[in-house]
Amino acid sequence: MKESEQSIRTKAINCVTNTALPVLRQQFEECGCDLDKQYEKYGNTEFFFAEIIEPGHIYEIGYPQCFCPDVLEGKTKDPAQCECSRQSIIYVYENLIPDKKVDVQLIETVLTGAEKCRFRVTVD
Protein backbone atom coordinates (compact mmCIF):
# COMPACT_ATOMS: atom_id res chain seq x y z
CA MET A 1 0.00 0.00 0.00
CA LYS A 2 1.40 3.39 -0.99
CA GLU A 3 2.03 5.98 1.71
CA SER A 4 -0.86 8.16 0.49
CA GLU A 5 -3.17 5.13 0.43
CA GLN A 6 -2.10 4.27 3.97
CA SER A 7 -2.75 7.86 5.04
CA ILE A 8 -6.26 7.76 3.57
CA ARG A 9 -6.94 4.41 5.24
CA THR A 10 -5.71 5.71 8.60
CA LYS A 11 -7.91 8.79 8.27
CA ALA A 12 -10.90 6.59 7.35
CA ILE A 13 -10.35 4.32 10.34
CA ASN A 14 -10.03 7.28 12.68
CA CYS A 15 -13.24 8.76 11.27
CA VAL A 16 -15.46 5.71 11.90
CA THR A 17 -13.90 3.91 14.87
CA ASN A 18 -15.82 5.83 17.53
CA THR A 19 -18.80 6.94 15.43
CA ALA A 20 -20.29 4.68 12.75
CA LEU A 21 -18.59 1.41 13.72
CA PRO A 22 -20.11 1.08 17.22
CA VAL A 23 -23.59 1.87 15.88
CA LEU A 24 -23.27 -0.57 13.00
CA ARG A 25 -21.80 -3.25 15.27
CA GLN A 26 -24.73 -2.90 17.69
CA GLN A 27 -27.23 -3.17 14.82
CA PHE A 28 -25.35 -6.16 13.35
CA GLU A 29 -25.31 -8.02 16.66
CA GLU A 30 -28.96 -7.15 17.33
CA CYS A 31 -29.80 -8.71 13.95
CA GLY A 32 -28.01 -11.98 14.75
CA CYS A 33 -24.84 -11.00 12.85
CA ASP A 34 -26.81 -11.17 9.59
CA LEU A 35 -26.20 -8.33 7.12
CA ASP A 36 -29.43 -9.03 5.24
CA LYS A 37 -31.49 -8.70 8.43
CA GLN A 38 -29.54 -5.60 9.46
CA TYR A 39 -30.11 -3.92 6.12
CA GLU A 40 -33.79 -4.89 6.06
CA LYS A 41 -34.23 -3.25 9.47
CA TYR A 42 -31.78 -0.33 9.32
CA GLY A 43 -31.17 0.12 5.60
CA ASN A 44 -33.22 3.28 5.17
CA THR A 45 -32.30 6.06 7.61
CA GLU A 46 -31.50 9.73 7.22
CA PHE A 47 -27.78 8.86 7.32
CA PHE A 48 -27.51 5.54 5.51
CA PHE A 49 -29.23 3.35 2.96
CA ALA A 50 -28.69 -0.25 1.92
CA GLU A 51 -30.23 -2.39 -0.78
CA ILE A 52 -29.78 -6.14 -0.89
CA ILE A 53 -28.92 -7.00 -4.49
CA GLU A 54 -28.09 -10.67 -3.90
CA PRO A 55 -28.78 -11.90 -0.34
CA GLY A 56 -25.63 -12.67 1.62
CA HIS A 57 -23.42 -11.60 -1.27
CA ILE A 58 -24.01 -8.24 -3.01
CA TYR A 59 -25.26 -4.98 -1.54
CA GLU A 60 -25.56 -1.39 -2.63
CA ILE A 61 -25.00 0.92 0.30
CA GLY A 62 -24.44 4.60 0.74
CA TYR A 63 -25.36 7.96 2.12
CA PRO A 64 -28.18 10.29 1.03
CA GLN A 65 -25.69 13.19 1.16
CA CYS A 66 -21.99 13.75 1.81
CA PHE A 67 -21.19 13.50 5.51
CA CYS A 68 -17.42 13.85 5.21
CA PRO A 69 -16.24 16.38 7.82
CA ASP A 70 -13.54 17.73 5.49
CA VAL A 71 -16.10 18.38 2.76
CA LEU A 72 -18.66 19.85 5.15
CA GLU A 73 -16.01 22.17 6.61
CA GLY A 74 -15.05 23.32 3.09
CA LYS A 75 -11.53 21.85 3.24
CA THR A 76 -11.97 19.90 -0.01
CA LYS A 77 -14.30 19.29 -2.92
CA ASP A 78 -11.95 16.81 -4.59
CA PRO A 79 -13.73 13.58 -5.61
CA ALA A 80 -10.54 11.71 -4.63
CA GLN A 81 -11.67 12.32 -1.04
CA CYS A 82 -14.37 9.68 -1.60
CA GLU A 83 -11.68 6.99 -1.36
CA CYS A 84 -11.73 7.77 2.35
CA SER A 85 -15.40 6.74 2.50
CA ARG A 86 -14.65 3.58 0.55
CA GLN A 87 -11.85 2.73 2.98
CA SER A 88 -14.10 3.38 5.98
CA ILE A 89 -16.68 0.97 4.57
CA ILE A 90 -14.00 -1.68 4.07
CA TYR A 91 -12.83 -1.17 7.66
CA VAL A 92 -16.36 -1.55 9.06
CA TYR A 93 -16.90 -4.80 7.15
CA GLU A 94 -13.48 -6.11 8.23
CA ASN A 95 -14.63 -5.59 11.81
CA LEU A 96 -18.13 -7.00 11.43
CA ILE A 97 -17.31 -10.01 9.26
CA PRO A 98 -13.55 -10.61 9.60
CA ASP A 99 -13.82 -14.14 8.18
CA LYS A 100 -15.20 -12.91 4.83
CA LYS A 101 -13.53 -11.30 1.81
CA VAL A 102 -15.15 -7.94 1.03
CA ASP A 103 -14.78 -5.82 -2.10
CA VAL A 104 -16.12 -2.25 -2.11
CA GLN A 105 -16.52 -0.33 -5.37
CA LEU A 106 -17.46 3.32 -5.63
CA ILE A 107 -20.48 3.77 -7.91
CA GLU A 108 -21.08 7.52 -7.57
CA THR A 109 -20.74 10.29 -5.01
CA VAL A 110 -21.93 13.80 -4.36
CA LEU A 111 -18.42 15.06 -5.16
CA THR A 112 -18.63 13.43 -8.60
CA GLY A 113 -21.91 15.25 -9.25
CA ALA A 114 -24.41 12.62 -8.08
CA GLU A 115 -27.32 13.22 -5.73
CA LYS A 116 -26.03 10.69 -3.19
CA CYS A 117 -23.02 8.51 -2.44
CA ARG A 118 -23.35 4.89 -3.57
CA PHE A 119 -21.05 1.90 -3.17
CA ARG A 120 -21.34 -1.72 -4.32
CA VAL A 121 -20.26 -4.24 -1.71
CA THR A 122 -19.48 -7.84 -2.60
CA VAL A 123 -19.06 -10.34 0.25
CA ASP A 124 -17.43 -13.73 -0.41
Task: Round the average pLDDT of the chain to a whole number and report it.
Answer: 95
**pLDDT digit string (tens) for 40-78?**
999 999 999 999 999 999 999 999 999 999 999 999 999
Q: Is the pLDDT of residue 3 over 90?
A: no
Q: What is the pLDDT of residue 6?
A: 81
Cβ-contact 107, 119 below 8 angstroms = yes
Reference 24, options 118, 90, 116, 122; nearest CA is 90
